[in-house]
Structures are given as structure tokens and as C-alpha cells.
Structure 1
Amino acid sequence: MSRTHIRDFHDDDLDGIVRLWETVHDAVATPVYSLAEVIASCQVDHAVVAVRGDRIVGAAVGRAAHAQGWIVFFGTVDEEVAKRSGAALLDALERRMATLGLAKLSVLVAGEGDPVEALTQNGFGMQHRLRYLERQMPVQRRELDLLKEVGGRIMPRHLWEAVAGMQHEKELLEERLVTPLARPDLAERFGVVPPRAVMLFGPPGTGKTTFAKAVASRLDWPFVEVFPSRLGDSPKGMAAGLRATFESIGDLEHAVVFIDEVEEIASRRRGDPPSPTQGVTNELLKLVAEFREREGRLLICATNFVRALDAAFLRHGRFDYVIPIGLPDAEARRAIWTRYVPPAIAETVAFELLVEASEGLTPADIEYAARRASQAALAEALRNPDAADSDALTTADYLEALGATRATVSEETADEFVDDIDSYARL
């Protein structure tokens, strides 16, 4: 039998490393480090191999992060090599990395077995209270420039939880959009086809954009907003600009694409003579059909005027759901008030009165009233610097500010929205 010897990794060893990694992880469903990570560290970090004849029978690969070293791969083809060469491999890797001035050398393993025994025999101590956690980055490095080019961004986490109240809408979006896309295995089990495109409609200022961003945050997908008003900047026209934008987005692995005020480019076509946007509407209809053919993407369109949309645009087969987003309910209004009332006075404010008095207002209306009351109180404090604490904001101040706040949504618009739910909603 040929002698096994330890040496530094050479580029010609890559095939042997791949075969060794596959052998070692045959029985491990979820290796800690992927093959791509191991290969990258072999090439740019530190690696030693155990060689028998011209065959790689063992390897130890490490990388340094600040003052700590990590073993990203340690394995041998069989138990015999582990016993004879395991310690030598670890020693050789440690010598290579010692010059980096590391304070400790650490390793994560996927389970019990011979590799763990070889490590503990070589001075590694088991840390029983440690847990290994990981998460995928929402955008890979190769996509960063593209995401910037299309004006996309990663939404902050927890936006979903920040949408207080509106429980019915949240449950609807969770069931119809988020779960089938985030858990396709569960969707397939129940025969649910993950959505590709949805329409949100409702009065202005009711939170359609907020919900779209929250869905992207919940899915952990990049959020790309397409602005109809900017499509005219394309030298080849709006339709060409729209197609170019969608083609660029198509190179992203995942994306929530959002078009607000979509009625600007999807209004009713009225025949001869054609309207200036008719070509854009035709192009958008084609793009929605093409968009639906690929997985990992969700198109969310929003409109304040669902009645103005072209009939072909809302036809079955283009949008999976047409979802109404109305004015905030009582729970949502209370949550909005809680956000803007200073915590120091919250216990003295009668929120139930504010919730009742703000019925029919949008979130933006309530924010305006709250800020108006705060600004008025600050102005009064500047005029009377010696004022007592009793001059702080009160429920009456907020009610006064509400009285001076003009509702964005008129009663007529609110009534029309109720009719639109019967005519257009598809849940």
C-alpha cells in the first residue's frame, strides 16, 4: 500500500477535493459549508491534503476571520485514514494558519462521528451550549449591480409585523401570496399554485404600497418599483422603456415588482383614434403574460381607480387575485395613534376617543393630525417656556387637530369602493 503524506493544496487537487467532499457528505443531509465555499477557501485561504499515490484521501481547509480561524472542511475517505492522518492534517493546517496571529481555531460539525473524535483528540473542546444558525442572503453578489441598476432594494425585516391592525387584509395576503411563495412544498401538497401577479385596489392613502413592501419583506425578496411616470424618459418611448425594465428585472433570481398607479399605463383602450398610452397598455399585457412564466417573482400592481383599468388587464389568467385594501379598521387606527403619541403621555390619552373620531381617515390623515397636535404643543411651549407640565398634549389637543384635518377619502369615494369590491374583487 502506498504511503500517505501531507502536503499543501495545489490547484490540480480540485477534482480530488470535490470527490472527497462528496464521499464525506454522502451521509450528511446538510453540510455546514457548501462545496462552493470549500473550493473557494482552497483557492484563496488555507488548505492541506493527505495524498496516497495520486489520490486525495484527506483534507483540512481553513479560513481566518479577524483573530479567529475556522475549519470549513475536514474529512478523510475512511476510518483508517482518519486514524493515521487525521491529526497530522489538523496539525499541518494549524501550522499554516499560526502565522496569522489567531487567538483560536474553531470548527462546526454537522453531527457525531469519527471527525468529531479526531478533532477532540487533537485538542478541540466541545462547546455544548453553542448553536449553529444561518440564513441565506436575499441578494447574491452577482446581482447587486443589477439590483442597483433597476432601482431595487432590500426591504427592512419585520415590516410585516409593523403593519398593525388590518388583520383581515394581512391574513388574506399571508394565505394567498406569502405562504405559497415562501413554502412551495406546502402549497404543492394542497394543490395550490403560487401566484405570479396580483392587483391591489382601494382609495388613495390606504396602504397599498406599504402592503407591497411588507410582502417583499416577508418573503425576503428584493423590492423593485416601476414608476410609470418615468417610462417616458426612455429614448425609444414608454413601451420600449417598460420592456427594457422588465428584461433587466428578469435577470434577478427573486423579486417583488411593484407598479403603483398602474392605471396610468393600463387605462381603458377606446379604439380609434388610439390614445397615447394604448401601445404601452398592449405592451404591459404582453409582459404580464411573459412574467407569469417564470418562478421566483411576484408582480404587484396597485390602483386607486380600478374602474379605469382596461377590461383585458383584469381578465382571469393575468392576475391571480384582485384584492381590496380599504381604510384602516379600529385596531389599525389605534396602532397608528400609538405610534405617534409620545410614550410619556400615552397613559393620559383616551385612545378610544381618538380611534372613534378618526374613523374614515387614512393612515396618512391620522399621522397628519397627530403631528399637527404635537407641533401646536411645541409652539405653545416656546411661547410660554414657564408653562407647567399640565400644558402637555391632551386628548382634547388631538381631537382639535382631528377637527382641522380634511379626510383624503370622501364619503362618495368610500361608497364607490364598497361597490368596486362587489364588481372587481377576486379572492
Structure 2
Amino acid sequence: MPGWRLRDFHADDLDGILRLWEQCQRTGSEPVYALSEVLASCQKDHAVVAVHGEEVVGAAVGRAAHNQGWIVFSATADGWHGRGIGPGLLAALEKRMAPHGLSKLSALLPDDGSRVDAFVSQGFELKSRLRYVERRIPVQREELGTLHELGGRVPARGLWDSVGGMRHEKDLLEKRLVLPLAQPDLADQYGIVPPRAVVLFGPPGTGKTTFAKAIASRLEWSFVEVFPSRLAADPLGLAGALRETFDKISELEHAVVFIDEVEEIASKRTGEPPSPLQGVTNELLKIIPAFREQPGRLLVCATNFIRALDSAFLRHGRFDYVIPIGLPDAAARRAIWERYVPPAVADEVDLDQLVAASDGFSPADIEHAARTASQHAMEASLVVAPDPHRVPGPRTADYVEAIAGTKATVSAEVAADFLEDIETLARL
């Protein structure tokens, strides 16, 4: 059966909502809210639907009052359960209600065996035999203004799970960073101080930025990326703007702060007289100890050239870990390819051949090759009449050709330097 997609509620979806309502009644799952309330919220509050073509196969409806949100109706059509529609609807509804600055999102379900899996998978907690479920919203209303001013956001839930491959790196980050930050009481029992700052280093395109966002998603914390190049234009100057930015970040309850290409502002201090950049490096070295004193925060700095960093920047006491993020191994490359090969043609594509041919590729290189293969296959289908008995999509030959035409980002020399840096600079 073909797939489904999510979109906002349209007025002509009322018939579909009514059919879902009647289905709930037929199956004995009488909705808690009256039909009139559900229809009113569809038109005046917040509603999203899942559609197959234009047929409504699922819906979620919510309303907000002050900092409390309620899900007044959620249902999936018969025959469409187990396809991820329920969790998808709840995630989309929460995203549309986020501007209200909700601190809690709740739902009241009939105690008759109704499905609660979709709610539990989205972080809701089952509260009582009445099947009352609620979910704490990580970013509070009063933080939204500051977060918007900083250009930050809360990454989508599930980003951590969507990172393909890189199992070794994910396991390491999960154990060293996520676990003690997500469960501080458990960490305290074992005498562990949750990390406050970490450096991710490795060749370009290996996914350092993606990992930083995924950590924020996994923790459900705000994600704020600091761009030194943008701060440089501030009237306060780069050092002053950097200090002011971190002062604003201190107003957030929880945050992952990310600085990419940190070597731009933390490179080795040399030369006489001191350059303006050395003043920025000095300011950053002052900021980090103050940042470390604030709980509920994690500074993630990423660099492609760890050898360029000032030695004082990397010393113990400033960064808890210095973690290498390298090229994906065969298992990781397979997982990344599986992410980009369309499901309709997955059985016809020789993944073993693609994994072998892309040895030495970064995740970004694989993504580029995969998208190139898909684009060329689509363009070819417009020139040559497609076989009506064949599922449209790229084939193994398309991917192999795209791999051959993709220049690896990481040279053998850079890869060798990275292995040396692991031996001399990594701190796990």
C-alpha cells in the first residue's frame, strides 16, 4: 500500500474527521471530548491530518490555554495502524502548538484499551488508570524570546535515531555525554560530574554538526549555534559580542551551544604584538569556566584542524572530552546508504557493492553520491520511456556511476593526520 503524508487541516477535511469519529464509536473507543468540541477545535485551534492521496487516514486535534495544551482528538483509520501515523501526527501537532510556549501537553483517553503506544513513543507518561497521559515541554514560555533572539531552536524529536551508521561514535556520545546529562541523579550516585564542554574533531563532512544537533534532540534541549563570522560585524566587536551572546545563553534553562570551526577564534596565539584575534581567544578562555558553572548546559566545539587550536584551549578543566569523529566504517556506510536508497527499489540495489565502492567516503560524500544518482535516474526517465513493469527509481549502476564521479572530501594524507591526532590529542 502506498504511503501517507502529513498536512494542516483544511475545511473540506471535516467529512474525514467525522468518519474517524464514527470509527472510534464503532470500535468501542468513545472519545472523551464531544464531537462538537472536536470540530470547533479543528476550525479554531490546531489540527493536522494524515492523508493518502486526499483521503484522511488520521488526525490529531489540540487546543492551548495559557501554558497548558490538550489533545482533544487523535485517531488513525482502520488498516493504517502500525505505519507511524500516530506518532507523526502527535509530533506535528506539538510543533504547531509550540509558539504558545506550552510547558505541558496532555491527553485524556478512555480507559477501554485504547491505543496509547503513539503517545508513549512521543514521550508522554501514563499517569493513571484513566489513561491520562502528559508530556513536559522542554522549553518554557519565558525562554522563547531569548531563544529566538539567539537564533536557536529545539531540534525535532527523533533526530538522534535518524543519524545513520556511526554506531561507535553514537555509543560513545551516548555514554559520555547524553546519559549523565539526561540522568543527573544517577550520575551523582556514582560520583560522576555531568560534562559541560566537549570538542569534536575530525575531517570535513564526517557529521560533527549533525551529532551536535542530535545530542540536543536526544536531550530535548535548546540548540544554539554561535557563528563567529556573524558576531564579528557586531558594534561591540567579536570579543564583546561573544561575551554578550553567552550572557544571553545563561538565561536558558537547558541548552546545547555549538561553535563550528572553532579554530577561527581559538587558534594558537603567536606573534608580537598580539593580534586582535588573540583578544578573542583570551575572551573565549574566560567564558568557558563561567559557562561550566551553570548546570543544564553543554558546549560543543567542532574543528577540522585540531592541531591549529591553542594548547590552553584544550587543557583539562576546560573540556571534559576531546572526541574524534572519523570516516564511517563498512557497517556505518551501509546504514547511511540504506537511509538514502528509496524503499521502493531497495531490494534491487546491491548495497554490498555500494559499500565497497564508497570506502573512504564521508557521510556527506555518500549523501552527495546518492542524491546525484537519484537526480540522474529521474532525468534519464524523462528522456527514455520507462519500463511500465519496473518500479521507477535509481539502480545499482546509477549509484556506482555517481560514486565514481564523486571526489572524496578526505584525502589519504588528511586521514593519516587524523589517526595521529587521535593518538596524541583525543581524550575519551
TM-score norm. by structure 2 comes to 0.69
CA contact (8 A) 2:269 2:278 kept: yes
SS at match of 1:173: helix
2:172 matched residue in structure 1: 172
Q: How does 1:27-426 map to 2 (within 5 A)?
A: 130-385=130-385, 387=387, 393-426=394-427
8 Å CA contact 2:108, 2:131 repeated in 1: no
CA distance in 2, matches of 1:134, 1:238: 43
Aligned residues: percent identity? 65
Shift of 1:392: 5.3
- Deviation (angstroms), 1:331: 2.1
Alpha-carbon distance in 2 for matches of 1:364, 1:295: 33
TM-score relative to the length of structure 1: 0.69
Q: CA deviation at 1:107?
A: 9.1
**Separation in 2, partners of 1:370, 1:418:** 27
Query: 8 Å contact 1:197–1:298 — kept in the other structure?
Result: yes
| Deviation at residue 263 of structure 1 after TM alignment | 0.4
Classify 1:244/1:395 alpha carbon distance in 2 versus 1 (closer, same or farther; 3 Å): same
CA shift at 1:400, angstroms? 1.2
Residue 271 of structure 1, CA deviation: 3.5
Q: Any conservation in 1 of the 2:180–2:194 contact (CA below 8 Å)?
A: yes
- 1:277, distance to aligned residue in structure 2 (A): 0.8
CA distance in 2 between partners of 1:107 and 1:393 (Å): 46
4+ aligned runs moved over 4 Å, structure 1: 64-68, 386-392
The Cα offsets for residues 155-202 of structure 1, whole Å up to 9 and x where unpaired, read as 101111111221111111111111111111111111111011000000
Partner of 2:26: none
- 2: CA distance between counterparts of 1:327 and 1:413? 11
Partners of 2:71 and 2:416 lie apart in 1 by 65
Distance (Å, rounded) in 1 between the aligned partners of 2:108 and 2:157 = 30
Q: Closer, same or farther in 2 for the Cα pair 1:343/1:284, shift >3 Å?
A: same
For residue 157 of structure 1, give the secondary structure of its aligned residue in structure 2.
coil
Distance 2:272 2:70 in 1: 69
Q: 1:291 to 1:67 in 2, by over 3 A?
A: closer
**Letter of the structure 2 residue corresponding to residue 243 of structure 1:** R
Name the SS of the counterpart of 1:312 in structure 2. helix
Greater mean alpha carbon deviation, residues 364-373 or residues 385-394: 385-394
8 Å CA contact 2:268, 2:308 repeated in 1: yes
Give 5+ residue unaligned stretches, structure 1: 1-63, 69-105, 109-126
What letter is aligned with 2:166?
Answer: M
Maintained 8 Å contact 1:164/1:331: no
Q: 1:286 to 1:397 in 2, by over 3 A?
A: same
RMSD between aligned residues: 2.4
Give distance in 1, aligned partners of 2:416 and 2:70: 62
Choose 359-368 or 240-249, whichever is displaced more: 359-368
> Does the 8 Å CA contact 1:160/1:218 hold for their aligned counterparts?
yes
Q: For residue 35 of structure 1, what is the aligned residue in structure 2? A: none
Structure 1 residues 365 and 107: CA distance shift in structure 2, 3 A: closer
Secondary structure (helix, strand or coil) at the match of 2:424 reads helix
* Pair 289,396 (structure 1): closer, same or farther in 2 beyond 3 Å: same
Alpha-carbon distance in structure 1 between the residues aligned to 2:226 and 2:361: 28
Change (3 A) 1:183 1:165: same
One-letter code aligned to 2:157: R
Count matched residues.
Answer: 310
- Say whether the 8 Å CA contact 2:342–2:393 is kept in structure 1: no
Q: What is the Cα deviation at residue 143 of structure 1?
A: 0.8
Are 1:200 and 1:324, in contact at CA under 8 Å, matched by a contact in 2? Answer: yes
CA 394–285 in structure 1, closer or farther in 2 if over 3 Å, else same: same
CA distance in 2, matches of 1:414, 1:128: 55
Change (3 A) 1:65 1:311: closer
1-side partners of 2:69 and 2:427: how far apart?
Answer: 52
Cα–Cα, structure 1 residues 163 and 273, in superposed 2: closer, same or farther, change >3 Å?
A: same
Deviation at residue 135 of structure 1 after TM alignment: 2.1
Cα distance in 2 for partners of 1:132, 1:330 equals: 45
CA–CA distance in structure 2, aligned partners of residues 133 and 311 of structure 1:
50
Cα deviation per residue 1:203-247 (whole Å; 9 max; x = unaligned)?
A: 000000111111101111100000111111110210001001000
CA shift in 2, pair 1:210/1:128, >3 Å: closer
1:66 positional shift: 9.1
Query: Distance between the aligned counterparts of 1:217 and 1:420, measured in 2?
Result: 29
Aligned equivalents of 2:332 and 2:194: distance in 1? Answer: 28
Distance in 1 of aligned mates of 2:253 and 2:129: 36
Q: What displacement does 1:309 show?
A: 0.2
C-alpha separation in 2, matches of 1:227 and 1:67:
38
Q: State the shift of 1:128 in Å.
A: 8.5
Deviation at 1:381, TM superposition (A): 1.3
Counterpart of 2:410 in 1: which secondary structure? Answer: coil
